[in-house]
A = this chain, B = another copy of it.
């Protein structure tokens, strides 16, 4: 990576971190530039305004590619194993993209008319649809009851997203893998039993 794109990247990473820690308004361009190890002016040569930097940061990451891969992986698994894998990957993603997600949620609330809103809406919609397609397939195979697949997807997502969110917000450092497996197992058990024919 050449110097330019490395500087660019450093700034985006610093912004990702600080936006997620302090919110868009709470993070100053001065802090961000220092965290990135460059001068404030350099930040502004790379991104013409703070707002554009936010857009860049948000545009940089998505979890849809990972999800597509996932669907091909679970074809041969049992329903329970499939859901377990999906849950694991979802939590992996949420943990990995923790900062990005925090920014997304905070800023979508703060300025509902912004571009972020559209991005966020699209992302969620696509996630729900993808999961719903899986549920419908399984219903057609006769494995599942005929609940509404979209609501199923939202319930599944809600359970894990709130779990992640709570752990992230409340325990922050004490996040442990053991807890996590227990949680996945408990949640999946309920969900499988609740949807299986």
Q: Chain A interface (Cβ within 8 Å of chain B)?
A: 22-23, 25-26, 102, 105-106, 108-110, 112, 117, 120-121, 124, 145, 147-148, 151-152, 154-155, 157-163, 166, 169-170, 172, 182-183, 186-187, 189-195
Known A162-B158, A187-B155, A193-B194: A170·B124 in contact at CB below 8 Å: yes
Known A25-B25, A124-B170, A158-B161: A147·B194 in contact at CB below 8 Å: no
CA distance A16 to B112 in the complex (A): 17
Query: Which residues of chain B come closer than 8 Å to A159, judged between CB atoms?
Result: 154-155, 158-159
Assess whether A166 is in contact with B154, with CB atoms less than 8 Å apart.
yes
Assess whether A193 is in contact with B145, with CB atoms less than 8 Å apart.
yes
Assess whether A172 is in contact with B112, with CB atoms less than 8 Å apart.
yes
CA distance A18 to B172 in the complex (A): 28
Which of B110, B152, B170 touches A23 (beta carbons < 8 Å)? B110
Assess whether B186 is in contact with A147, with CB atoms less than 8 Å apart.
yes
This protein's copies in its complex: 4
Which of B102, B157, B189 touches A162 (beta carbons < 8 Å)? B157
Min Cβ gap A84→B in Å is 15
Min Cβ gap A168→B in Å is 9
CA distance A26 to B109 in the complex (A): 11
CA distance A124 to B168 in the complex (A): 14
Assess whether A169 is in contact with B120, with CB atoms less than 8 Å apart.
yes
Which of B151, B172, B182 touches A183 (beta carbons < 8 Å)? B151
Assess whether B102 is in contact with A109, with CB atoms less than 8 Å apart.
yes
Chain B's closest residue to A169 (CB) is: B108
